């Protein structure tokens, strides 16, 4: 009889250990395609013992996959790189709102999703990037491009280069401007930008910077981390680019420069919710926030984390004024922005 008891106890122990091992995993759907993030993931596993399984895709692909998978989805964590996509995931019910004192204390209110009626938060921003203006230092006066509004002014006719208006980075910028100027004025501004284009929208942000350096464009729009990559490069051709272009953080005398975020959420049908919350709290920690700054040239979102990245410091000097409107509001404006883009012919 005693042997039976011992055997049962051993089986229960083995079963419990297997269950524990099974729980020590976390499935991540990520739109962050940055090789430098590998160290971020490795450090989490080293600290916690939780194995990370990752699926990489773009933001739109991840949201579509979550919808198709429904309750069968294995995803625990969703990482996206734009406010408009985070808002879309929230609206589509793809996230599981959570309560975390650590996250609520670390991440400013304007950089996270709107709380539910029960006080839970659907998503959190973990890093920021400013949408700045680069210009030809020889041909363009800085004063002619020091606000977003001036990109639509006739003085810049034939000079503007920009990526597709429907790209999430621009949808968020235009959603921000809509919040500041109102719909009618924003639509006129967008119409002015179409009239000012040096060429049809194409390429990514790095292509816009190179267009200014080559003389094809006089002025362009880019996220700061693309610019910081070039600034930190030792390649001769990249150094030549930085010799030709200047950077301005727009609207320092008004509402401030638009910032966008990369953020994360717990998936609606997460099977490892506790691990997922632990991972999000890790992303708000000082070491992870420092990694965002030095690994991928993004600004930390958590309060009180100082930036030591030389390119970001060189860009901003003593700092810059950023807008303070809630990022969630910017995302909410994307539908009306897309309608405006269609009306003015902004491709």
- Looking at residue 33, its pLDDT comes to 85
Q: What are 265's strand-pairing partners?
A: 78
Domains 25-127+260-306 and 129-258+321-344 share a fold: yes
In whole angstroms, how far apart are CA 235 and each of 43, 232, 239, 322?
A: 30, 9, 6, 31
Average of pLDDT values for 247-260? 96
pLDDT digits (tens, 9 = 90+) for 117-132: 999 999 999 999 999 9
> What does CATH list as the number for 129-258+321-344?
3.40.190.10
How many CB atoms are closer than 10 A to CB 4?
8
Span of 7-16, 272-281, 285-294 with lowest mean pLDDT: 7-16
Kindly report the backbone phi and psi dihedral angles of residue 196, in degrees, each rounded to the nearest multiple of 5, phi listed first.
-95, 0
Residue 342, pLDDT score: 97
Residue 318: the pLDDT is: 72
Classify residue 68 by burial, with Cβ atoms within 10 Å: 0-12, 13-18, 19+.
exposed
- What length is written for the chain? 347
- Look at 143-152, 161-170, 249-258, 318-327 and tell me which has the smallest mean pLDDT: 318-327
Q: Are strands 160-161 and 219-223 parallel, antiparallel or unpaired?
A: parallel
Instruction: Report d(CA 166, CA 159) in Å as an integer.
Output: 20
Homologous superfamily in CATH for domain 25-127+260-306 = Periplasmic binding protein-like II (3.40.190.10)
How high is the pLDDT of residue 18?
36
Per the listing, tokens 């729980």 go with 23
The dihedral through the CA atoms of 326, 176, 147, 310 has a sign that is positive
**pLDDT for the residue numbered 55:** 95
Residues 120 and 83: their CA atoms lie apart, in Å, by 18
Q: Which residue has the higher pLDDT, 204 or 84?
A: 204
Contact 324, 259 (CB under 8 A): no
Residue 4 pLDDT exceeds 50: no
pLDDT of residue 133: 98
Q: With cut-offs at 50, 70 and 90, classify the pLDDT of residue 5.
A: very low
96-105, 140-149, 313-322: least confidently modelled range = 313-322
pLDDT at 84 (0 to 100): 86
Residue 253, CA distances (Å) to 93, 99, 182, 317, 320 in order:
38, 37, 19, 17, 11
What average pLDDT score do residues 50-59 get? 95
8-22, 254-268, 327-341: segment of lowest average pLDDT: 8-22
Give the model's confidence band at 1: pLDDT under 50 very low, under 70 low, under 90 confident, else very high.
Answer: very low
Q: Which two tokens stand for residue 67?
A: 């919808």
Q: What is the per-residue pLDDT for 307?
A: 83
- Taking the C-alpha atoms of residue 162 and residue 103, their distance in angstroms, rounded to an integer, is 35
Domains in the chain: boundaries: 25-127+260-306, 129-258+321-344
Q: Check residues 50 and 14 and name the one with the higher pLDDT.
A: 50
pTM for this entry? 0.87
**Range scoring the smallest mean pLDDT among 2-11, 150-159, 194-203, 253-262:** 2-11
Mean pLDDT (the chain, rounded):
91
Residue with tokens 């920021």: 128
> pLDDT for 286-329, tens place per residue?
999 999 999 899 999 999 888 889 999 899 877 899 999 988 88
The mean pLDDT value for 52-69 works out to 95
């Amino acid at each position: 009889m005693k042997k039976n008891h011992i055997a049962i106890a051993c089986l229960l122990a083995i079963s419990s250990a297997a269950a524990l091992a099974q729980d020590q995993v976390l499935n991540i759907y990520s739109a962050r395609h940055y090789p430098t993030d590998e160290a971020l993931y490795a450090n989490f596993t080293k600290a916690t013992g939780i194995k990370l399984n990752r699926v990489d895709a773009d933001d739109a692909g991840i949201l579509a996959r979550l919808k198709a998978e429904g309750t069968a989805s294995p995803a625990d964590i969703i990482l996206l790189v734009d406010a408009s996509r985070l808002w879309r995931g929230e609206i589509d019910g793809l996230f599981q709102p959570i309560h975390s004192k650590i996250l609520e204390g670390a991440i400013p209110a304007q950089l996270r999703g709107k709380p539910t009626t029960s006080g839970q938060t659907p998503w959190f921003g973990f890093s920021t990037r400013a949408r700045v203006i680069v210009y030809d230092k020889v041909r363009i006066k800085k004063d002619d491009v020091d606000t977003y509004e001036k990109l639509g002014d006739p003085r810049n006719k034939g000079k503007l280069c920009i990526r597709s208006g429907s790209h999430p980075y621009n949808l968020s910028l235009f959603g921000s401007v809509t919040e500041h100027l109102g719909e009618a004025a924003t639509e006129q501004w967008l119409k002015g930008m179409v009239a000012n284009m040096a060429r049809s929208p194409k390429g990514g942000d790095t292509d816009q910077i190179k267009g200014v350096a080559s003389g094809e464009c006089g002025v362009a729009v880019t996220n700061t981390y693309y610019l910081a990559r070039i600034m930190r490069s030792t390649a001769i051709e990249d150094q030549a680019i930085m010799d030709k272009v200047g950077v301005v953080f727009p609207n320092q005398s008004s509402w401030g420069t638009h910032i966008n975020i990369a953020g994360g959420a717990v998936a609606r049908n997460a099977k490892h919710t506790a691990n997922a919350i632990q991972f999000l709290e890790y992303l708000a920690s000082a070491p992870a926030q420092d990694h965002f700054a030095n690994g991928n040239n993004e600004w930390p979102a958590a309060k009180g984390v100082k930036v030591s990245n030389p390119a970001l410091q060189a860009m901003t000097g003593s700092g810059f004024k950023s807008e303070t409107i809630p990022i969630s509001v910017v995302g909410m404006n994307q539908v009306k922005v897309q309608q405006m883009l269609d009306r003015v012919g902004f491709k």
